[in-house]
């Protein structure tokens, strides 16, 4: 697996590295913890290559982290999709997870909306409603509509989304980053089959979290 740093993290890595070097020069006992923080910063902004199978009808996790919620919930109101509850899978990213977001399916970006808000602990369900977020609406070739939402957390104060309306994306394609702790919600079409449970660990662009209606998967939520 290759190791690279996300471009958004390079200024932070340089800043922490310079600070660590200066502190080490002044007094080593201050330089040691500063060096540890600098190394953690490099680890936090890592951006590993992933191979996404891109199987038809499969929804892949849009982020690395722990599944903290599998429920029914209305999609973000700002997208204008109505208030009917849809299957929702939520992934919580702690400060040690890869924070690069990836598209859960192949499709076209048909909606983008940034919503300012609070910075409640992203592990809580109320963060999906009250926190700062960036919502992305995707439409697959088969006409299925999904929503993936980047949600800021208690520590996270910056959401980066590089998508534009009308853009075509492939399943597993990188599209953004949240720093530092955060949450990613996936709203799925009614009748989708959920393949994960609370407590499972997801790998962005690799873990199958659901199958779309008509993909011959048994059951459904």
d(CA 123, CA 64): 14
C-alpha distance from residue 44 to each of 94, 97, 162 (Å): 10, 7, 19
Handedness of CA 79, 82, 83, 88 (dihedral sign): negative
Cα(133)–Cα(122) distance, rounded to whole angstroms?
11
Residue 182 CA to residue 94 CA, distance in Å, equals 7
Spell out the residues 6+ positions from residue 171 whose beta carbon is closer than 8 angstroms to its own: 52, 54, 58, 60, 103, 104, 105, 106, 205
Catalytic residues: 182
Compute the distance between CA of residue 104 and CA of residue 54 in angstroms, rounded to an integer: 9
């Amino acid at each position: 697996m290759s190791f690279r740093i996300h471009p958004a993290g390079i200024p932070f890595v340089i800043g922490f590295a310079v600070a660590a070097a200066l502190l080490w020069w002044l007094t080593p006992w201050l330089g040691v913890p500063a060096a540890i923080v600098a190394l953690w910063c490099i680890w936090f902004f890592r951006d590993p290559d992933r191979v996404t199978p891109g199987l038809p009808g499969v929804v892949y996790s849009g982020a690395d982290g722990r599944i903290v919620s599998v429920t029914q919930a209305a999609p973000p109101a700002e997208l204008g999709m109505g208030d009917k509850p849809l299957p929702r899978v939520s992934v919580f990213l702690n400060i040690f997870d890869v924070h690069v977001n990836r598209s859960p399916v192949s499709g076209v970006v048909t909606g983008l909306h940034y919503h300012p808000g609070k910075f409640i602990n992203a592990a809580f369900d109320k963060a999906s409603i009250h926190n700062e977020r960036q919502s992305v609406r995707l439409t697959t070739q088969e006409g299925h509509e999904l929503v993936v939402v980047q949600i800021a957390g208690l520590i996270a104060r910056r959401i980066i989304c590089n998508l534009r309306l009308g853009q075509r994306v492939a399943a597993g394609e990188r599209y953004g980053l949240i720093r530092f702790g955060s949450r990613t919600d996936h709203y799925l079409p009614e009748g989708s089959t959920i393949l994960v449970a609370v407590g499972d660990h997801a790998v962005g662009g690799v873990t199958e979290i659901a199958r779309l209606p008509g993909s011959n998967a048994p059951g459904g939520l």
